[in-house]
Structure 1
Amino acid sequence: MSDAEAVAALSSLRGIGAWTAEMILLFCMERPDVFSFDDLAIQRGLCMVYHHRKIDRRLFEKYRRRFSPFCSVASLYLWAVAGGAVER
Protein backbone atom coordinates (compact mmCIF):
# COMPACT_ATOMS: atom_id res chain seq x y z
CA MET A 1 0.00 0.00 0.00
CA SER A 2 1.10 3.54 -0.58
CA ASP A 3 1.35 5.88 2.40
CA ALA A 4 -1.91 7.62 1.43
CA GLU A 5 -3.73 4.29 1.11
CA ALA A 6 -2.38 3.11 4.47
CA VAL A 7 -3.45 6.36 6.17
CA ALA A 8 -6.93 6.03 4.63
CA ALA A 9 -7.24 2.39 5.74
CA LEU A 10 -6.05 3.10 9.28
CA SER A 11 -8.22 6.23 9.56
CA SER A 12 -11.28 4.18 8.74
CA LEU A 13 -10.84 2.40 12.09
CA ARG A 14 -12.75 3.85 15.01
CA GLY A 15 -10.61 6.17 17.16
CA ILE A 16 -7.76 6.56 14.67
CA GLY A 17 -7.38 9.84 12.85
CA ALA A 18 -4.95 11.00 10.21
CA TRP A 19 -2.25 12.06 12.69
CA THR A 20 -2.37 8.74 14.54
CA ALA A 21 -2.25 6.83 11.26
CA GLU A 22 0.78 8.84 10.15
CA MET A 23 2.55 8.14 13.44
CA ILE A 24 1.84 4.41 12.98
CA LEU A 25 3.41 4.62 9.53
CA LEU A 26 6.42 6.45 10.91
CA PHE A 27 7.15 4.49 14.08
CA CYS A 28 5.59 1.04 13.61
CA MET A 29 5.90 0.56 9.88
CA GLU A 30 9.13 2.60 9.58
CA ARG A 31 8.05 4.36 6.41
CA PRO A 32 10.76 6.77 5.20
CA ASP A 33 8.60 9.62 3.83
CA VAL A 34 6.10 10.61 6.55
CA PHE A 35 5.58 14.34 7.20
CA SER A 36 2.41 15.19 9.13
CA PHE A 37 0.80 18.60 8.69
CA ASP A 38 -1.32 17.94 11.78
CA ASP A 39 1.76 17.58 14.01
CA LEU A 40 2.22 20.86 15.89
CA ALA A 41 5.81 20.09 16.88
CA ILE A 42 6.79 19.72 13.23
CA GLN A 43 5.12 23.04 12.44
CA ARG A 44 6.86 24.66 15.40
CA GLY A 45 10.21 23.22 14.32
CA LEU A 46 9.72 24.57 10.81
CA CYS A 47 8.89 28.00 12.23
CA MET A 48 11.97 27.95 14.44
CA VAL A 49 14.40 26.77 11.76
CA TYR A 50 13.07 28.81 8.85
CA HIS A 51 11.85 31.86 10.82
CA HIS A 52 8.19 31.75 9.81
CA ARG A 53 5.37 33.06 11.98
CA LYS A 54 2.91 30.43 10.83
CA ILE A 55 3.00 27.41 8.55
CA ASP A 56 0.06 27.11 6.17
CA ARG A 57 -0.68 24.11 3.94
CA ARG A 58 1.02 25.63 0.87
CA LEU A 59 4.26 26.36 2.75
CA PHE A 60 4.16 22.95 4.42
CA GLU A 61 3.90 21.24 1.01
CA LYS A 62 6.93 23.23 -0.16
CA TYR A 63 8.97 21.74 2.69
CA ARG A 64 7.48 18.28 2.08
CA ARG A 65 8.76 18.40 -1.50
CA ARG A 66 12.14 19.65 -0.33
CA PHE A 67 12.61 16.89 2.26
CA SER A 68 11.16 14.05 0.18
CA PRO A 69 11.94 11.11 0.09
CA PHE A 70 13.35 11.46 3.62
CA CYS A 71 10.54 13.34 5.37
CA SER A 72 10.61 10.94 8.32
CA VAL A 73 14.19 11.96 9.11
CA ALA A 74 13.24 15.63 8.78
CA SER A 75 10.32 15.00 11.17
CA LEU A 76 12.65 13.59 13.81
CA TYR A 77 15.01 16.56 13.54
CA LEU A 78 12.18 19.09 13.63
CA TRP A 79 10.75 17.41 16.76
CA ALA A 80 14.18 17.73 18.38
CA VAL A 81 14.37 21.41 17.47
CA ALA A 82 10.86 22.08 18.78
CA GLY A 83 11.70 20.18 21.96
CA GLY A 84 14.62 22.46 22.74
CA ALA A 85 17.59 20.56 21.29
CA VAL A 86 18.90 23.84 19.87
CA GLU A 87 18.53 27.35 21.17
CA ARG A 88 16.33 29.84 19.37
Structure 2
Amino acid sequence: MVKSLQGDTQLFVPAYWEDAKQELMKRDRIMRRIIPMFGDLHLVGRGDPFTTLARSIVGQQISVKAAETVWQRLLSACQKCTPTHVMKAGPEQLAACGLSRRKAEYILDLADHFKAKRVHVAKWEEMDDEEVIAELLQIRGIGRWTAEMFLIFNLLRPNILPLDDVGLLRGISMNYFSGEPVSRSDAREVSANWEPWRTVATWYMWRSLEPVPVEY
Protein backbone atom coordinates (compact mmCIF):
# COMPACT_ATOMS: atom_id res chain seq x y z
CA MET A 1 0.00 0.00 0.00
CA VAL A 2 1.46 3.37 -1.03
CA LYS A 3 0.44 6.46 0.93
CA SER A 4 0.04 10.01 -0.35
CA LEU A 5 -1.55 13.24 0.88
CA GLN A 6 -4.25 15.39 -0.74
CA GLY A 7 -4.68 18.49 1.41
CA ASP A 8 -5.28 17.13 4.92
CA THR A 9 -6.59 13.77 3.65
CA GLN A 10 -4.37 10.71 3.58
CA LEU A 11 -4.93 8.66 0.42
CA PHE A 12 -3.83 5.10 -0.26
CA VAL A 13 -2.87 3.51 -3.58
CA PRO A 14 -2.87 -0.31 -3.82
CA ALA A 15 0.67 -1.64 -4.22
CA TYR A 16 -0.65 -4.48 -6.40
CA TRP A 17 -2.30 -2.24 -9.03
CA GLU A 18 0.34 -2.31 -11.79
CA ASP A 19 0.90 -6.07 -11.51
CA ALA A 20 -2.85 -6.66 -11.61
CA LYS A 21 -3.24 -4.51 -14.74
CA GLN A 22 -0.55 -6.47 -16.57
CA GLU A 23 -2.03 -9.84 -15.56
CA LEU A 24 -5.56 -8.84 -16.57
CA MET A 25 -4.42 -7.53 -19.95
CA LYS A 26 -2.56 -10.78 -20.65
CA ARG A 27 -5.57 -12.94 -19.84
CA ASP A 28 -8.61 -10.99 -20.97
CA ARG A 29 -9.06 -9.36 -24.37
CA ILE A 30 -11.71 -6.93 -23.04
CA MET A 31 -9.38 -5.77 -20.26
CA ARG A 32 -6.61 -5.45 -22.85
CA ARG A 33 -8.80 -2.89 -24.63
CA ILE A 34 -10.22 -1.02 -21.59
CA ILE A 35 -7.26 -0.66 -19.22
CA PRO A 36 -5.03 1.46 -21.53
CA MET A 37 -7.92 3.94 -22.00
CA PHE A 38 -7.47 5.16 -18.41
CA GLY A 39 -3.71 5.63 -18.31
CA ASP A 40 -2.40 6.11 -14.79
CA LEU A 41 -5.81 6.37 -13.10
CA HIS A 42 -6.22 3.88 -10.28
CA LEU A 43 -8.31 3.03 -7.24
CA VAL A 44 -7.70 5.45 -4.37
CA GLY A 45 -8.49 4.43 -0.81
CA ARG A 46 -9.02 6.61 2.22
CA GLY A 47 -7.50 5.84 5.58
CA ASP A 48 -10.32 6.39 8.07
CA PRO A 49 -12.75 3.45 8.39
CA PHE A 50 -15.50 5.41 10.17
CA THR A 51 -15.51 8.14 7.51
CA THR A 52 -15.63 5.59 4.68
CA LEU A 53 -18.62 3.77 6.21
CA ALA A 54 -20.49 6.96 7.17
CA ARG A 55 -20.03 8.32 3.69
CA SER A 56 -21.30 5.11 2.11
CA ILE A 57 -24.47 5.24 4.26
CA VAL A 58 -25.05 8.87 3.23
CA GLY A 59 -24.75 7.86 -0.43
CA GLN A 60 -27.21 4.97 -0.36
CA GLN A 61 -30.00 5.28 -2.97
CA ILE A 62 -29.28 8.92 -3.89
CA SER A 63 -27.22 10.50 -6.67
CA VAL A 64 -23.50 11.16 -6.26
CA LYS A 65 -24.16 14.93 -6.41
CA ALA A 66 -26.89 14.82 -3.75
CA ALA A 67 -24.71 12.63 -1.53
CA GLU A 68 -21.83 15.11 -1.76
CA THR A 69 -24.13 18.00 -0.75
CA VAL A 70 -25.44 16.11 2.29
CA TRP A 71 -21.94 14.97 3.22
CA GLN A 72 -20.57 18.52 3.22
CA ARG A 73 -23.47 19.66 5.44
CA LEU A 74 -22.79 16.79 7.81
CA LEU A 75 -19.11 17.76 8.06
CA SER A 76 -20.11 21.35 8.84
CA ALA A 77 -22.60 20.25 11.50
CA CYS A 78 -20.23 17.80 13.22
CA GLN A 79 -16.98 19.80 12.89
CA LYS A 80 -15.11 16.48 12.61
CA CYS A 81 -16.29 13.14 11.26
CA THR A 82 -15.63 11.07 14.37
CA PRO A 83 -17.99 8.80 16.34
CA THR A 84 -17.93 11.23 19.29
CA HIS A 85 -18.78 14.31 17.19
CA VAL A 86 -21.52 12.48 15.28
CA MET A 87 -23.16 11.22 18.50
CA LYS A 88 -22.94 14.70 20.00
CA ALA A 89 -24.76 16.15 16.97
CA GLY A 90 -27.69 13.76 17.53
CA PRO A 91 -30.55 12.70 15.26
CA GLU A 92 -32.21 16.11 14.80
CA GLN A 93 -29.04 17.86 13.67
CA LEU A 94 -28.14 14.98 11.35
CA ALA A 95 -31.63 15.04 9.82
CA ALA A 96 -31.25 18.81 9.27
CA CYS A 97 -28.25 18.03 7.03
CA GLY A 98 -30.62 16.34 4.57
CA LEU A 99 -30.40 12.79 5.89
CA SER A 100 -33.58 10.77 6.19
CA ARG A 101 -34.47 9.90 9.79
CA ARG A 102 -33.54 6.29 9.07
CA LYS A 103 -30.10 7.20 7.69
CA ALA A 104 -29.48 9.44 10.71
CA GLU A 105 -30.26 6.44 12.93
CA TYR A 106 -27.90 4.26 10.87
CA ILE A 107 -25.02 6.72 11.22
CA LEU A 108 -25.61 7.02 14.96
CA ASP A 109 -25.61 3.21 15.27
CA LEU A 110 -22.36 3.12 13.30
CA ALA A 111 -20.84 5.72 15.66
CA ASP A 112 -22.03 3.73 18.69
CA HIS A 113 -20.45 0.51 17.37
CA PHE A 114 -17.12 2.29 16.86
CA LYS A 115 -17.18 4.13 20.19
CA ALA A 116 -18.16 1.02 22.18
CA LYS A 117 -15.52 -1.03 20.28
CA ARG A 118 -18.09 -3.61 19.17
CA VAL A 119 -16.20 -3.81 15.88
CA HIS A 120 -12.52 -4.81 15.84
CA VAL A 121 -11.16 -2.05 13.60
CA ALA A 122 -7.52 -2.68 14.52
CA LYS A 123 -7.81 -6.35 13.49
CA TRP A 124 -9.52 -5.83 10.13
CA GLU A 125 -6.24 -5.75 8.21
CA GLU A 126 -5.49 -9.31 9.36
CA MET A 127 -9.04 -10.68 9.04
CA ASP A 128 -10.20 -12.32 5.82
CA ASP A 129 -12.85 -10.72 3.60
CA GLU A 130 -15.82 -12.71 4.89
CA GLU A 131 -14.88 -12.14 8.55
CA VAL A 132 -14.84 -8.36 8.02
CA ILE A 133 -18.15 -8.51 6.13
CA ALA A 134 -19.73 -10.52 8.99
CA GLU A 135 -18.72 -7.83 11.52
CA LEU A 136 -19.97 -4.97 9.37
CA LEU A 137 -23.33 -6.65 8.81
CA GLN A 138 -24.00 -6.29 12.55
CA ILE A 139 -24.35 -2.52 12.05
CA ARG A 140 -27.77 -1.19 11.05
CA GLY A 141 -27.87 0.17 7.50
CA ILE A 142 -24.86 -1.80 6.33
CA GLY A 143 -25.64 -4.63 3.91
CA ARG A 144 -23.30 -6.81 1.94
CA TRP A 145 -22.86 -4.24 -0.87
CA THR A 146 -21.76 -1.52 1.58
CA ALA A 147 -19.41 -3.96 3.30
CA GLU A 148 -17.88 -4.91 -0.07
CA MET A 149 -17.41 -1.23 -0.97
CA PHE A 150 -15.57 -0.86 2.35
CA LEU A 151 -13.29 -3.78 1.50
CA ILE A 152 -12.56 -2.19 -1.88
CA PHE A 153 -12.16 1.47 -0.93
CA ASN A 154 -10.78 1.28 2.61
CA LEU A 155 -8.99 -2.04 3.07
CA LEU A 156 -8.05 -2.13 -0.66
CA ARG A 157 -8.69 -5.87 -0.88
CA PRO A 158 -7.68 -7.10 -4.35
CA ASN A 159 -10.26 -9.81 -5.10
CA ILE A 160 -13.74 -8.43 -4.30
CA LEU A 161 -16.61 -9.10 -6.72
CA PRO A 162 -19.69 -7.06 -5.63
CA LEU A 163 -22.42 -9.03 -7.39
CA ASP A 164 -25.14 -6.71 -6.02
CA ASP A 165 -23.52 -3.73 -7.74
CA VAL A 166 -25.60 -2.44 -10.66
CA GLY A 167 -22.58 -0.73 -12.26
CA LEU A 168 -20.56 -3.95 -12.30
CA LEU A 169 -23.38 -5.93 -13.93
CA ARG A 170 -23.99 -3.14 -16.44
CA GLY A 171 -20.29 -2.95 -17.28
CA ILE A 172 -20.14 -6.70 -17.88
CA SER A 173 -23.31 -6.49 -19.97
CA MET A 174 -21.95 -3.68 -22.18
CA ASN A 175 -18.41 -5.01 -22.55
CA TYR A 176 -18.90 -8.79 -22.67
CA PHE A 177 -22.52 -9.38 -23.80
CA SER A 178 -23.15 -6.54 -26.32
CA GLY A 179 -25.62 -4.87 -23.93
CA GLU A 180 -27.71 -7.98 -23.24
CA PRO A 181 -28.87 -8.36 -19.59
CA VAL A 182 -26.56 -10.48 -17.44
CA SER A 183 -27.24 -12.64 -14.39
CA ARG A 184 -25.06 -13.02 -11.31
CA SER A 185 -24.09 -16.41 -12.74
CA ASP A 186 -22.90 -14.74 -15.98
CA ALA A 187 -20.88 -12.24 -13.93
CA ARG A 188 -19.24 -15.03 -11.93
CA GLU A 189 -18.33 -16.82 -15.13
CA VAL A 190 -16.71 -13.72 -16.66
CA SER A 191 -14.92 -12.92 -13.39
CA ALA A 192 -13.33 -16.37 -13.13
CA ASN A 193 -10.77 -15.04 -15.61
CA TRP A 194 -10.06 -12.02 -13.37
CA GLU A 195 -8.96 -13.84 -10.20
CA PRO A 196 -7.17 -12.89 -7.98
CA TRP A 197 -7.70 -9.30 -9.17
CA ARG A 198 -11.50 -9.02 -9.30
CA THR A 199 -11.42 -5.66 -7.48
CA VAL A 200 -9.23 -4.19 -10.21
CA ALA A 201 -11.38 -5.57 -13.02
CA THR A 202 -14.54 -4.30 -11.27
CA TRP A 203 -12.99 -0.83 -11.03
CA TYR A 204 -12.35 -0.86 -14.80
CA MET A 205 -15.92 -2.00 -15.45
CA TRP A 206 -17.08 1.07 -13.51
CA ARG A 207 -14.69 3.32 -15.42
CA SER A 208 -15.94 2.02 -18.75
CA LEU A 209 -19.37 3.45 -17.84
CA GLU A 210 -18.32 6.51 -15.83
CA PRO A 211 -14.77 7.79 -16.46
CA VAL A 212 -14.60 9.89 -13.26
CA PRO A 213 -13.83 7.65 -10.25
CA VAL A 214 -16.28 7.63 -7.33
CA GLU A 215 -14.72 8.12 -3.90
CA TYR A 216 -15.84 6.76 -0.53
Q: TM-score range by the shorter chain?
A: 0.7 to 0.9
> One-letter code of the match for 2:199?
S
Q: Which residue of 2 aligns with 1:77?
A: 204
The alignment partner of 1:8 has SS state of helix
Aligned equivalents of 2:153 and 2:211: distance in 1?
21
Aligned to 2:150, which of 19, 24, 37?
Answer: 24
Aligned equivalents of 1:30 and 1:84: distance in 2?
20
Measure how far apart 1:64 and its partner are: 2.6
Quote the RMSD (CA, aligned, Å): 1.6
* Structure 1 spans left out of the alignment, 5+ residues: none
TM-score, normalised to structure 2, is 0.37
The alignment partner of 1:66 has SS state of coil
Q: Which residue of 1 aligns with 2:160?
A: 34
* Greater Rg by CA: 2
> One-letter code of the match for 1:32?
P
Per mean C-alpha deviation after superposition, the further-off stretch among 58-67 and 40-49 is 58-67
Aligned equivalents of 2:192 and 2:134: distance in 1?
21
User: Which of the pair has the greater relative contact order for Cα pairs under 8 Å at 6+ separation?
Assistant: 1
* Counterpart check, 1:65 vs 2:192: yes
> One-letter code of the match for 1:14?
R
Aligned equivalents of 2:174 and 2:204: distance in 1?
12
How many aligned residue pairs are there? 85
- Is the CA contact (8 Å cut-off) linking 1:35 and 1:71 kept in structure 2? yes
TM-score, normalised to structure 1, is 0.86
Measure how far apart 1:59 and its partner are: 1.1
Structure 1: which 4+ aligned runs deviate by more than 4 Å?
none
Measure how far apart 1:39 and its partner are: 0.7
Aligned equivalents of 2:133 and 2:192: distance in 1?
19
- Is the CA contact (8 Å cut-off) linking 1:42 and 1:82 kept in structure 2? no
What whole-Å deviation, never above 9, does each CA across 1:27-77 have from its counterpart, x for those lacking one?
Answer: 000100111011111111101111251121211211232111001110110
* Structure 2 spans left out of the alignment, 5+ residues: 1-126
- Is the CA contact (8 Å cut-off) linking 1:64 and 1:71 kept in structure 2? yes
* Counterpart check, 1:13 vs 2:147: no
Q: Normalized per residue, which structure has more strand?
A: 2
